[in-house]
Amino acid sequence: MRFRDIKKRKNIQEKLQKDSSKTIPYAKYTDRIKAFITDMFMIYAPILYIITYVFLDGKDEFQASQLAPLIGVTMYGLIYATLVSKLAQTPGKKAYTIKIVDDTTLEKISFLRALWRFIAFLFSATTLIGLLIPFYRKDKKSLHDIIASTIVIEENDRKD
């Protein structure tokens, strides 16, 4: 990204903040973690259960397979991207009244961008550095949020 594009994006963001009488209500990092854990139980665990006991013959075959976990993560990523692009939130994020939006327009993001954010999350979580970045930023952005140009905000103050 070129410097003038970065500066232009920053100017748009500043204008949005000046236009609105309130500042952007960034989601708490603890709520984001709780929402992630909720999503793991509500979406990912059932996917793994179905793969393990419907398509395979149990946990031993699942553990021996290299393809089964990949299929599980892929299915979770597709469901995640669909929910984020259509509703701007997953069930866990809805439970904690937070949503994922574009960092300049505060609008929903596209399916491909949500999928890109998920892939970036996998990288971010693998390195762990990306998950520690929000502790040092005012806007609480993780590495995958920076890569996908998104922010996670509280839904209470903003109605679509």
Listed by start position, the domains of the chain span: 24-154
Across the range 116-123, mean pLDDT stands at: 96
| Percent of the chain whose pLDDT exceeds 90 | 69
Residues 133-147: tens digit of each pLDDT: 998 988 889 999 999
Residue 145: name the closest of 82, 95, 83, 102 by CA: 102
117 vs 18, which has greater pLDDT? Answer: 117
pTM: 0.82
Q: How far is CA 67 from CA 37, 51, 155, in A?
A: 24, 11, 37
Residue 102: name the closest of 129, 82, 84, 122 by CA: 84
